Amino acid sequence: MSLTRKALCGVLGMVVAGLALAMPGQAGAQQALVVLKKADYTPLTNSRAKVSKWWAEEVEKRTGGKVKIEYFPAETLLKAADIFEGTRSGVADIGVWVQAYNPAVSPISALFTLPGISPTFRPAIRAVHELVYTSDFSYFRDELRKLGVEPLYSWGVADQELISTKPLASIAALKGLKVRVIGREWPKLVSAHGGTPVAMPWPEVYEALSRGTLDANVGFVTANRDSKLYEVAKHHTRIRLGAPAGPLAIMNKQAWDRLPAEAQKAMREVGREFTERLADVYDKEVQEAVKEMEAKGVRFYEWSAEDRAKLQASMEGVWEAWAREAEAKGIPGREAMRRYVELQKKHSR
């Protein structure tokens, strides 16, 4: 019996030892799984939000499940205006950020949302990607890194236009109109033509239009459709205000630095593909959105060539004022603007 007990003890000892050796390996496997929280402010009915979710899922696939991204749309983690600070401080690991909501943060990034500076979305987003991520002009990424975030990929909107509760058949109709805009430059454009600019995050626009706190919203066609603004605003003015392509997805810098190199590479690759996928979506959906809103009773307007020329001159005046102000603060705004315009021409060929 004693020998049997010894034998049993030996076997049990081997089992315990085996378990002890196995446990660290299991713990290591669990630690290899990085879980990141991604904050977005738009609901998943929004076309861009759907592609944003695709980015998160694709990163998980390409890292073999080693990086899992929990996606929080529709301000379920952070409000739109809080995304930069919430990402920088670590409430979210990744944030879909609009610089115009925080104009004091990364002032040079306001370049991309200047009225009309990005006429067509695909060349614009390609130009942003090259300028921010791969060119020798490192000011954008250096500035953001100093602020505690890593730029991940660029996104944007297409066909920025006016949707309103009353007809806007000419530039003169802007006088006295309460128009929702964001950032520091768009209010100047609205004010120059007698309108009253109103700063407001996107999720609040529907209710404001329905209550009359707003008369009009500067937004892109697909988002106006996705957010059902046509239910409360039956007039859409297509005046080619541009397709701002400079908003960024950002990541907490410390969380980025902790990622393995292969995970960082996967995020960069999927980010580049994101830009093309989003452009494809916009190409298809803008016309679909116009048809759908027309069927819902929305009337579309175009301005005369004379009014368009007046608007263009006003927009270019805003660009020049922005560059002058940036240079006065030691920000290379004029050089950034020159490169951006040239890169758009390059990517339009």
Where do the structural domains in the chain lie, given as residue ranges?
A: 34-158+244-284, 160-243+289-348
User: Which helix (DSSP H) or strand (DSSP E) does residue 72 occupy?
Assistant: strand 67-72
Q: Which residue has the tokens 């590479």?
A: 265
Tell me the average pLDDT of the chain.
90
Is the CB of residue 229 less than 8 Å from the CB of residue 298? no
Residue 28 has pLDDT above 60, yes or no: no
Instruction: Give the pLDDT mean for 331-346.
Output: 98
| Residue 86 · residue 39 · CB < 8 Å | yes
160-243+289-348: same fold as 34-158+244-284?
A: yes
CA 47 to chain centre: 12
Cβ 177 vs Cβ 163: under 8 Å: no
Mean pLDDT of 150-154: 97
Residue type, 14: M
Look at the chain and count its residues.
349
Task: Tell me what the mean pLDDT of segment 65-74 comes to.
Answer: 96
State the CB neighbour count (10 A cutoff) for residue 304: 11
Which element (helix H / strand E) includes 152? strand 149-154
Give the pLDDT confidence score for residue 85 in this predicted structure: 98
Neighbouring residues of 295: CB distance < 8 A, sequence distance ≥ 6? none
Checking if the pLDDT of 34 tops 70, the result is yes
Rounded to two decimals, what is the model's pTM?
0.83
- Residue percentage of the chain with pLDDT more than 70: 91
pLDDT higher than 80, residue 318: yes
Convert the pLDDT of each residue in 228-259 to its tens digit.
999 999 999 998 899 999 999 999 999 999 99
Q: What are the backbone dihedrals phi and psi of residue 176, each rounded to the nearest 5 degrees, phi first?
A: 80, 0
CATH value of 160-243+289-348 in 3.40.50.720, 3.90.76.10, 1.20.1250.20, 3.40.190.170: 3.40.190.170
pLDDT of 265 > 50? The answer is yes
Determine the CATH number of domain 34-158+244-284.
Answer: 3.40.190.170
Terminal C-alpha separation, the chain: 89
Q: What is the mean pLDDT of residues 181-202?
A: 93
- One-letter amino acid for residue 312 of the chain: Q
pLDDT at 2 over 80: no
Bridge-based pairing state of the strands 149-154 and 248-252: antiparallel
CA torsion sign, 123 to 309 to 197 to 297? negative
Phi-psi region of 165 (alpha: psi -120 to 50; beta: other; left: phi over 0): alpha
